[in-house]
Structures are given as structure tokens and as C-alpha cells.
């Protein structure tokens, strides 16, 4: 990955420093501290070149459209969340500040623009949290639930309550009169982790147009049931480049235990693999969600070793995937705890985006830029 100094970036862009900094804050240009001088920043060359070409008017419309799907400008308008100058906001409220005391239920109320409460009809003995159970429960609803198209926001919000309850019964089983973070901590028999889980759930509730949220919006745009949108989001979240990135962190920790953090990082980079524990394109100065969550518990020794070595060698700070894996280790939670927490939290965001997409009345249907064999000539008739 090639990096430019501020002077080089400004020459390529033919713009003022204020414009360069604005593009960084909006996530259009990735930046990192200059290892030679921490007071200065370096800027990702490919991002600078992309913007320079756009400003020069040399790109075709289909190229612009294609790049919007790959960390480009937002492809959809949304009033739900955004990242500005390294801070995450939920409907204008700073998410890190909101996470100081809010619950996931209160976050759902904020994201949905209406009162939210996760209720449950389950009773008696509760099964452990299970991602498989969430998939099965959602799949069982999809063909029975009403399509979302043509229904009022009040009706959709009632459906959203019900879908969240279905997911909560699978991922945080427990009495309906208890907050979801308390239910989740109790289900793992770790009551001391409840407040940390609460914070993590709030911080992970939404994150603009990430891959799983986009999948959920595409499903909703076709008029499918809200349960189908959540099922689409959940399926996408399980990918190793998204919600399952914590597994890469676990692998680094295992290697650190064997050969030390520096050698583990060197081996990973030498094999051509990325380090899922470090960096995020939208947070050039560090993932605010990770910084907030890590302040809630003592960092285990191996994670401290990995963080210190990685940040020095890579030049990027740890991200939310690192923080989730560290939280699971600190409280001795089950190995799959990060994806359970992520899935439960992000369900609220998927539902918010699905309802917003339905209200827009627009079908998401991009065109493909054909790159296959030349079509055969159609004989004239």
C-alpha cells in the first residue's frame, strides 16, 4: 500500500489543505501517522488518485458507480448513522457517549425513531445462546411473515419489535423483563460482564452502510418481510471480512502465545494475510468503538503484547474486532461470544435500515458492467 505526504497529496488533488482534511474526515481518503514524524500524516495514494481523477472529470459514469460500492462515496442516503471526523453518530448523537449508560433497547428506540422493547414469550429453562438457533428461527418466519411493502411505519415497527424478540430469544435467552445485556451475561454465567456487554451492544448497533446492512437494505427494497432482511444481514455478517473477523484476532493471539507477538505478526504479513486486529478505513486515528469498549475492562496480557507490537509495526491502532476478542478473553466468555454480541446488536441496525429503505419506496437494482465473452451476433429476422 503506497502513501503520500500532505504536500504530494495536495499537488495531486490541486486543492487546499482544508479540502484534503475534509475528505479524510468523510472516509474518502485514508490517513495514518507518519512513522518518521507522528505530528504529520500520510495519505493513501490510491484514494488520492481516485479523487484526483474524479475532480478532473476523466472517469466514465459506470466507473464512478462501480467505485461507490468499494469504499467510495455513500451509495444511499440515510438518517440513521454516520462517521464524521473519527466519531460514530446515531441520529446525531455520539455513539461512544451514548454507550456510557444506554442499553440496546434504548438504542433501538433511537435508531427506529420510536419506543422499543424486546419482549419474549419463552419461559422456563433457557438454551445457551446459539447463532444456529437464530438462523433457524428467522428462516422459519420468512415465509409466514407479511411482506413489508405497502405497510405503515407503525405496523413495521411492531414487526421489528417481534423480529428482535425472535433473535433475542436465540442469542440472549432469558426472562423478558430483564435487559438484553443482563440476559446475555446470565446465559453465560458471567454476571460481572453485564455492563461491558451492554456497552459493546450499543457500540455495535449500527455502522452506516456496511456490507451486512447493505444486504439487509437490498432485501427490504424488494418488499420482503423484515425477518428476511435480518436473515440477509446475519448471513453476510458471518463472513471473515466482516463480523467473523474476530477469528483472525484469535489466531494471532494463539500464535502470540507460541512465538511472541512480533514473530506472529511477521509470519502473518509474510504469508500475504491482512491483520484483522488493526486499522479501519473509516477511523484513521483509531476505531472509536474499540477505544471505548477497551476502557471497560483490564486487557489480558497476550492482547496487550499483540496491541503494542502491532501498533508499532503496522502503524494502525487496534479495532473493534480486537476489542471483542479481548473482551471474550477477559471475561472467559465462550469462543463464539464476539459473533453472538455482534449479531444481537446489529439486528437493531438492520431493522432500522430496512424500515428506512421501505419508506423510500425504491428498489435497489444496480446494473452490471459486462466483462464476459462478446455476445454472439443476433441474426436479423
pLDDT at 58: 46
Task: Say how far apart CA 230 and CA 236 lie, in whole Å.
Answer: 10
For 337-380, the pLDDT digits (tens) are 999 999 999 999 999 999 999 999 999 988 888 889 988 765 54
pTM listed for this prediction: 0.81
> DSSP letters along 29-68, please?
S-EEEETTEEEEEEEEHHHHHHHHHHHHT-S-HHHHHHHH
Tell me: pLDDT of 130 over 80.
yes
pLDDT at 72: 58
3-state secondary structure of 277: coil
Farthest-apart Cα atoms in the chain, separation: 77
pLDDT at 381: 47
All 3 cell numbers of residue 281?
Answer: 478505513
> DSSP letters along 170-195, please?
HHS-S-TTS-HHHHHHHHTT-GGGHH
Percent of the chain with pLDDT over 90: 66
Catalytic residue among 47, 145, 169, 321: 321
Task: Say how far apart CA 348 and CA 117 lie, in whole Å.
Answer: 11
3-state secondary structure of 124: coil
Catalytic residue among 161, 181, 207, 280: 280
Least confident of 163-167, 248-252, 341-345: 248-252
Task: State the pairing for strand pair 31-34/87-90.
Answer: unpaired
Owner of C-alpha cell 451476433: 377
Task: Say how far apart CA 49 and CA 4 lie, in whole Å.
Answer: 10
Task: Say how far apart CA 108 and CA 145 lie, in whole Å.
Answer: 21
72-94 average pLDDT score: 88
Of 274 and 78, the one with more pLDDT? 78
Tell me: pLDDT of 62 over 50.
yes
118-128 average pLDDT score: 67
Helix, strand and coil in the chain, % to nearest 5: 55, 5, 40
What's the CATH number for 103-369? 1.10.580
Nearest 10 degrees: Cα torsion 321, 325, 331, 333: 110
Task: Say how far apart CA 288 and CA 363 lie, in whole Å.
Answer: 33
CA angle 164, 220, 141 (to 5 degrees): 45
User: Is-contact 225 148, C-beta < 8 A?
Assistant: yes
pLDDT at 66: 57
353 is catalytic: no
All 3 cell numbers of residue 109?
Answer: 428506540
User: Is-contact 289 327, C-beta < 8 A?
Assistant: no
187-212 average pLDDT score: 97
Q: In what order do the strands lie in the sheet with 81-84?
A: 81-84, 87-90, 93-94
Query: For 110, left (φ over 0), alpha (ψ -120 to 50), or beta?
Result: alpha
322-333 average pLDDT score: 97
Question: What is the Cβ-side half-sphere exposure of residue 131, based on CA atoms within 13 angstroms?
Answer: 18
285 is catalytic: no
Determine which helix (DSSP H) or strand (DSSP E) holds 33, and give its type and residue range.
strand 31-34
Which of 146, 145, 137 minimizes the C-alpha distance to 166? 137
Task: Name 4's bridge partners.
Answer: 43
Confidence of residue 39 (pLDDT cuts 50, 70, 90): confident
pLDDT at 230: 98
Amino acid at each position: 500500500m503506497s502513501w503520500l505526504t500532505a504536500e504530494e497529496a495536495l499537488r495531486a488533488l490541486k486543492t487546499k489543505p482544508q479540502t484534503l482534511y475534509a475528505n479524510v474526515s468523510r472516509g474518502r481518503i485514508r490517513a495514518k501517522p507518519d512513522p518518521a514524524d507522528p505530528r504529520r500524516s500520510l495519505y493513501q495514494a490510491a484514494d488520492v488518485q481516485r479523487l484526483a481523477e474524479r475532480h478532473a472529470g476523466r472517469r466514465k459514469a459506470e466507473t464512478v458507480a462501480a467505485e461507490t460500492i468499494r469504499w467510495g462515496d455513500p451509495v444511499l442516503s440515510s438518517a440513521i448513522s454516520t462517521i464524521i471526523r473519527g466519531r460514530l453518530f446515531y441520529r446525531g448523537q455520539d455513539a461512544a457517549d451514548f454507550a456510557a449508560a444506554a442499553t440496546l433497547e434504548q438504542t433501538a428506540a433511537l435508531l427506529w425513531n420510536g419506543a422499543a422493547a424486546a419482549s419474549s414469550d419463552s419461559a422456563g429453562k433457557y438454551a445457551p445462546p446459539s447463532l444456529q438457533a437464530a438462523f433457524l428461527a428467522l428462516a422459519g418466519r420468512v415465509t409466514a411473515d407479511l411482506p413489508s411493502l405497502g405497510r405503515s411505519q407503525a405496523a413495521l415497527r411492531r414487526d421489528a419489535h417481534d423480529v428482535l424478540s425472535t433473535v433475542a430469544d436465540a442469542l440472549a435467552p432469558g426472562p423478558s423483563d430483564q435487559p438484553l445485556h443482563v440476559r446475555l451475561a446470565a446465559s453465560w454465567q458471567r454476571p460481572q460482564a453485564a455492563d461491558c456487554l451492554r456497552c459493546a451492544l450499543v457500540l455495535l448497533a449500527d455502522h452506516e452502510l456496511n456490507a451486512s446492512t447493505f444486504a439487509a437494505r437490498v432485501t427490504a427494497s424488494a418488499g420482503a418481510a423484515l425477518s428476511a432482511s435480518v436473515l440477509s444481514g446475519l448471513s453476510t455478517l458471518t463472513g471473515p471480512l466482516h463480523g467473523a473477523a474476530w477469528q483472525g484476532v484469535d489466531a494471532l493471539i494463539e500464535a502470540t502465545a507460541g512465538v511472541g507477538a512480533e514473530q506472529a505478526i511477521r509470519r502473518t504479513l509474510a504469508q500475504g494475510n491482512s491483520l484483522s486486529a488493526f486499522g479501519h478505513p473509516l477511523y484513521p486515528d483509531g476505531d472509536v468503538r474499540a477505544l471505548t469498549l477497551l476502557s471497560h475492562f483490564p486487557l489480558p496480557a497476550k492482547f496487550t503484547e499483540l496491541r503494542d507490537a502491532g501498533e508499532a509495526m503496522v502503524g494502525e491502532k487496534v479495532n473493534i474486532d480486537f476489542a471483542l476478542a479481548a473482551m471474550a478473553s477477559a471475561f472467559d466468555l465462550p469462543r463464539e461470544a464476539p459473533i453472538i454480541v455482534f449479531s444481537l446488536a446489529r439486528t437493531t441496525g438492520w431493522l432500522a435500515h430496512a424500515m428506512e429503505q421501505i419508506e423510500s419506496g425504491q428498489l435497489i437494482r444496480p446494473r452490471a458492467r459486462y466483462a464476459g465473452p462478446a455476445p454472439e451476433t443476433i441474426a436479423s429476422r
